[in-house]
């Protein structure tokens, strides 16, 4: 509705403007430009006037108080029915002692742990990075904090962010940590994901050792929230309930959270970001389909729900006192996509939510975050295209969000299409309803959607595996109805689509009726990785992406009445993009030889945009 009102207004303005710009109706009218002037050429003395005042990024202030959101672990442990034993394991270094460990009778001993790595059978596994212990942080020199020249065009809004707006940056463990087989971590699906010669996640950014400096660099830029993820395979190497908790991992993330708080920032923690334990895999086959993601990646395993809930409880019991915002699952669709997988995610998520608010009586917020590149109808005036877009949203989002946010049944399209789909019963719906305090969404871009050529019905009833559009049964494109790209293209699937983003926020808020956390958004600039460092750092397309999206968030809040709770930029640093380093989503670059980080221009531009729109002091 909002869109049609806007286009009517534009039409009226175009008619008014016709007298001034008479030749064509095609180019944009400029109703504000009523005065025409005539040039008056003249001579004047010349001087260089383009000197600028140098500006520096300002660090977040040091913390003065520590807020707590739940009782501390020692208090919680007393009244929980679950207790956890702890242990430590070594590091898996091929052909060294831990492999020949002698505690073969212990199901969770060193030998059992090592055998998981042997079974994982990694090609070319190496632990070789630059670091093997935690590196302490040093202050960021002010020379690195000078703001870059501004781009010529920029946002022209006059809005400020609400005072409780969560602004920050995000990253995920497997994409930055490295040290995958060190200090007790067991193999995750991601170590098996990148076959052949593709880069592995074994070393990446060595953030497992460099987290203190990485946090320091964010604080120096003035970033308030740092969103990171904790790997299940570090906390519980044997994954399942009743198996021992890895004390080294508990200590590591304890220290990381302390480092975030000491730097004056606030942590946001995601429990599962694609790195589920390898033992849940249903098969050797990790089929990758761009629209569906990684099939057979374990969420459908019968042991998954109880195991995830146990893991979630371990994290919350240890860290909920200091972490105010929690996410259970990152983009579960990409890993869960069959009926059972999603059903498991919905049920596991709900249990963790109830534990957080009812057993821990914690006072922060806990939710879930989804992927869905907003499906926009190719021809919005064609009812069948609108139905196709609705179906796309239902299968990617409504599937999870109907029960979790509204207590509503799985969508009919899902129940009718997916093999093995079963409705939730009333007591399940009542238990699942309202189990997310916010709607997390990673709205990188938009996708142009129209019905499958044979029609949705015919496609949906043809469950043949060679039917490549099944189960969505819609065409997905990146061009609009007139054949233009939907926006400026990145290195990968992301196009700059800020106006679709605003429409999307409108859709999400009015459909699922919960505050929206834009939990990831970002732009891998085309061919950035092949450019000289100084050219990589001057990343104007990424600035355009971020500032336009942030500007649309403000309009969404103030003009559409949409509650956007916050926005977390992806990613705080270039990282391992699941077998690829050429898609650089970072707002900092990394030298892969020295592990040196450099701020990109877009990082300054984004922070400057937010800082210059702080709430007015009352």
Ligand X SMILES: *[C@@H]1O[C@H](CO)[C@@H](O)[C@H](O)[C@H]1NC(C)=O
So which residues are the catalytic ones?
331
**Under rule CB under 6 A, residue 430 binds ligand X:** no
Judged by beta carbon, residue 116 or residue 494, the one nearer ligand X is 116
CA 437 from chain centre, in angstroms, equals 17
Can you give the length of the chain in residues? 618
Instruction: Report the number of secondary-structure helices (H) and strands (E) in the chain.
Output: 20, 17
Minimal distance in Å, beta carbon 575 to ligand X? 16
Interhelix angle 304-319/339-354, rounded to 10 degrees, is 30
Cis peptide before 152 (omega within 30 of 0): no
Where does residue 420 fall: left (phi above 0), alpha (psi -120 to 50 degrees), or beta otherwise? Answer: left
**Under rule CB under 6 A, residue 205 binds ligand X:** no
**Under rule CB under 6 A, residue 546 binds ligand X:** no
Judged by beta carbon, residue 15 or residue 458, the one nearer ligand X is 458
**Under rule CB under 6 A, residue 292 binds ligand X:** no
**Under rule CB under 6 A, residue 529 binds ligand X:** no
**Could you say which residues in the range 454-473 bind ligand X, by CB under 6 A?**
458, 462, 464, 466-467
| Residues ≥6 apart with Cβ < 8 Å to 448 | 376, 377, 378, 476, 477, 478, 479, 480, 481, 486
**Under rule CB under 6 A, residue 382 binds ligand X:** yes
**Under rule CB under 6 A, residue 51 binds ligand X:** yes
Among 7, 85, 86, 591, binds ligand X (CB under 6 A): 591
Minimal distance in Å, beta carbon 91 to ligand X? 23
Among 23, 62, 594, 612, binds ligand X (CB under 6 A): 594
Minimal distance in Å, beta carbon 277 to ligand X? 8
Among 450, 491, 519, 548, binds ligand X (CB under 6 A): 450
**Under rule CB under 6 A, residue 534 binds ligand X:** no
CA distances from 559 to 99, 161, 353, 563 (A): 62, 13, 32, 11
| Residues ≥6 apart with Cβ < 8 Å to 411 | 394, 395, 398, 399, 402
Which of 242, 123, 113, 129 shows the shortest CA–CA distance to 186?
A: 113
Minimal distance in Å, beta carbon 50 to ligand X? 8
Q: CA 231 to CA 188: how far, in whole Å? A: 9
Q: CA 92 to CA 99: how far, in whole Å? A: 8
Instruction: Point out which span in 13-21, 281-289, 368-376, 410-418 binds ligand X (CB under 6 A).
Output: 281-289
Task: Tell me which residue has its CB nearest to ligand X.
Answer: 283
Instruction: Point out which span in 111-119, 143-151, 380-388, 604-612 binds ligand X (CB under 6 A).
Output: 380-388
Q: CA 450 to CA 415: how far, in whole Å? A: 21
**Under rule CB under 6 A, residue 138 binds ligand X:** no
Among 280, 374, 431, 572, binds ligand X (CB under 6 A): 280
**Under rule CB under 6 A, residue 429 binds ligand X:** no
Which residue shows structure tokens 């709607």? Answer: 439
Task: Give the footprint of ligand X on this chain (CB under 6 A).
Answer: 51, 53, 240, 279-285, 301, 303, 382, 384-385, 425-428, 450-451, 458, 462, 464, 466-467, 533, 591, 593-594
């Amino acid at each position: 509705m909002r869109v049609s009102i806007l286009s009517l207004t534009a039409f009226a303005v175009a008619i008014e403007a016709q007298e001034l710009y008479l030749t064509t109706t095609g180019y944009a009218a400029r109703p504000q430009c009523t005065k025409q002037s005539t040039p008056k050429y003249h001579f004047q003395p010349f001087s260089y006037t383009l000197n600028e005042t140098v500006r520096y990024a300002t660090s977040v202030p040091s913390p003065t108080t520590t807020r707590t959101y739940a009782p501390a672990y020692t208090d919680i442990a007393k009244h929980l029915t679950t207790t956890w034993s702890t242990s430590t394991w070594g590091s898996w270094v091929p052909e060294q002692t831990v492999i020949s460990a002698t505690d073969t009778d212990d199901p969770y001993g060193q030998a059992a742990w090592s055998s998981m790595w042997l079974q994982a059978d990694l090609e070319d596994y190496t632990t070789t990075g630059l670091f093997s212990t935690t590196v302490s942080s040093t202050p960021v020199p002010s020379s690195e904090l000078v703001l870059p020249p501004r781009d010529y065009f920029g946002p022209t809004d006059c809005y400020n962010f609400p005072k409780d707006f969560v602004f920050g940056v995000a990253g995920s463990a497997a994409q930055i940590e490295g040290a995958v087989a060190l200090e007790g971590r067991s193999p995750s699906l991601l170590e098996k994901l990148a076959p052949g010669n593709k880069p592995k996640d074994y070393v990446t950014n060595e953030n497992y050792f460099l987290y203190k400096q990485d946090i320091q660099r964010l604080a120096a830029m003035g970033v308030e929230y740092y969103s990171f993820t904790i790997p299940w395979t570090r906390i519980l190497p044997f994954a399942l309930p009743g198996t021992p908790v890895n004390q080294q991992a508990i200590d590591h993330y304890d220290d990381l959270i302390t480092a975030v708080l000491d730097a004056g920032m606030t942590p946001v923690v995601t429990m599962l970001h694609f790195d589920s334990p390898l033992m849940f895999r249903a098969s050797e086959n990790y089929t990758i389909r761009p629209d569906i993601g990684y099939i057979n990646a374990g969420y459908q395993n019968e042991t998954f729900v109880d195991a995830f809930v146990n893991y979630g409880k371990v994290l919350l019991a240890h860290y909920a006192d200091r972490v105010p915002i929690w996410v259970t699952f990152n983009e579960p669709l990409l890993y869960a996509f069959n009926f059972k997988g999603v059903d498991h995610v919905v049920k596991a998520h709900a249990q963790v939510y109830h534990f957080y608010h009812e057993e821990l009586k914690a006072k922060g917020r806990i939710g879930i975050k989804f992927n869905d590149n907003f499906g926009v109808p190719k021809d919005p005036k064609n009812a069948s295209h609108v139905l196709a877009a609705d179906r796309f949203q239902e299968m990617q989002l409504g599937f999870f969000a109907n029960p979790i946010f509204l207590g509503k049944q799985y969508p009919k399209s899902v129940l009718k299409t997916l093999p093995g789909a079963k409705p939730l019963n009333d007591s399940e719906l009542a238990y699942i309803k309202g189990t997310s305090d916010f709607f997390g969404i990673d709205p990188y871009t938009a996708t142009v959607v129209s019905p499958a050529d044979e029609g949705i019905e015919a496609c949906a009833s043809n469950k043949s595996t060679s039917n490549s559009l099944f189960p969505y049964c819609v065409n997905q494109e990146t061009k609009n109805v007139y054949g233009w790209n939907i926006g400026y293209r990145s290195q990968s699937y992301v196009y700059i689509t800020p106006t679709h983003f605003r429409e999307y926020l409108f859709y999400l808020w009015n459909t699922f009726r919960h505050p929206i956390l834009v939990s990831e958004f970002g732009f891998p600039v085309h061919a950035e990785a092949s450019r000289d460092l100084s050219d990589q750092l001057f990343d104007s397309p990424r600035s355009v992406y971020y500032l336009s999206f942030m500007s649309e968030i403000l309009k969404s809040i103030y003009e559409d009445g949409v509650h956007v709770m916050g926005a977390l930029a992806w990613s705080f640093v270039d990282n391992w993009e699941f077998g690829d380093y050429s898609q650089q989503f970072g707002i900092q670059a990394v030298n892969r030889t020295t592990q040196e980080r450099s701020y990109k221009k877009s990082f300054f531009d984004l922070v400057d945009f937010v800082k210059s729109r702080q709430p007015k002091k009352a």
